[in-house]
Structure 1
Amino acid sequence: MRWSRDSLIVLVGLASALMGRSPAAAAGAPPALGEQVTIDAAQQQWVQDQLWCAQGDVQLHYQDISLRCDEVEVDLKTMHLHAEGNVILDQGETRMACDRMDFDLRTKLGTLYKVDAFFPPTYHFRGEKLQKLSEDKYHFTRGVFTSCDLTDKAPPWSIEVRDAIVQLEGYGHFRDATIKVRGVPIFYTPRLLWPVKRDRAAGFLVPTFGYSSQRGAYLGNSFFWPASRSFDTTFFVDLFTKHYLGLGQEARWAPAENAFGEIADEFVW
């Protein structure tokens, strides 16, 4: 066992030599020579020339992964890590904070517990568990999903879910979902399909919520259709608690850089 208080840089070729293996050994071998893991921490140690342990103000970097935590263990043979204590994982603009985490550095997939996550540009999840299934697909367990800032204890809207599979730039499939407005439950459904889109693509948009003194609370649903690069239209259906129904459409066009226009209409009865 060797101790070090300095930043260590481990090349996979060196790790392979210490384990008596070549980088291309059996399935599950570490990444190719030239890729590296770096760790800065108050204390670091080797266990059996394979397990890299660090404690105290830990900072780990690997490719586009940046990790901060109190303690971490990295298996250089499998490239699997376990982190605990004030964990913050950054990958690109995505940030996930949690109590503890199991993560595979090769696949960049893993499970986080008691997590608070942000997915750019606006989506947030806070809950019991988050599993990263692919680059843009996640499994949420018992928590709250919203496009509002969760520093607000009662965000303008949120969905409390027991279980959800969310595909960024696609849809969220929620189970046992309760839609809340300012923290107040207004609607429950055992199944819910919810748009989670950022780019200009056809599909249902994130519903809106509000209140009218004349018509009551309302749920606004809309469908966006980009007919061409220069023309798009949005269809609206608003449902009111006082038995009103609203239908509307908005059309926009921009045939040239300095030529554009829009028209909208809505009927409520």
Structure 2
Amino acid sequence: MTNFDNYVPKLLLEALEGKGDLLSPTIVHPEIWHRLVTKNPTNEKIWRLVYRHVNSSTPSVFKHQFFAYRNFIERIETAYDGMDNWEKRTNAEKKERINEIARLAKALSKKIQGTPFDTQVFEYFNHEFYLEALNEISENKHDMFDLNVNDQFNLSGIYSPDISQIMNNMSESIKESGAESGVLSKVNAEDSNITYFVRVISDWLNTHFGSPCHELNSLLASVIFEDSLTVEDVRNKLRRYHASEGKISYSKQYISRSIQNKPDSFNEE
């Protein structure tokens, strides 16, 4: 086994080969992952850096590597997709929609209370994907069809609030969030797709790894967009972008990282 094989997540390789289902729903653009798992010095460095951050940063953010890599893959996918319709809206348009969503969430919270539908949120996590992921990390292995969904999560020590509580919390959280500034000021600017990618990934890396990791960002963008970006290119794209204004919010509820099995230190920058 080569060093490259030690760092690329096995679940990703299995998904690309059609042998595993845990990451398959997450992968929308398989072509970019085939580029990233091709054995070459650049890709080996990418996965060494990812492995380093997933396993050795403190305080821990990811308790299970599965969630770390899945979250990483999801963020790469969404950053590669580019800006969605929400991000292209003006702040006034966002504020109007936010107020509407908050109002409707509060109304649903009140309506659903006292009905049979006001159960633990996990009751609706009944897709096979969630149950397989649960068994992947759980010490209590069991047949996913023997118990109802809530009991399967509860037996693994995982509990959730009721739907009405979630909707009420959602309403309050949305009202407090306000309209965030966009990641790009010029949506149709030349190479805006790469700029958007670099800025979103920088936010994600800084949020979860405590550093914008410019070298890792430049290598990822270079391979994914089949371009050649240097660390200085990444810095230039971030220079006029203030993360405090454009930063995308991420839920930390499901992302805790284990610091066990630390690899040797690698020099990143």
TM-score (norm 1): 0.21
Higher RCO, Cα 8 Å, sep 6+ = 2
Structure with greater helix share of residues? 2
Larger Rg: 1
TM-score (norm 2): 0.21
Structure with greater strand share of residues? 1
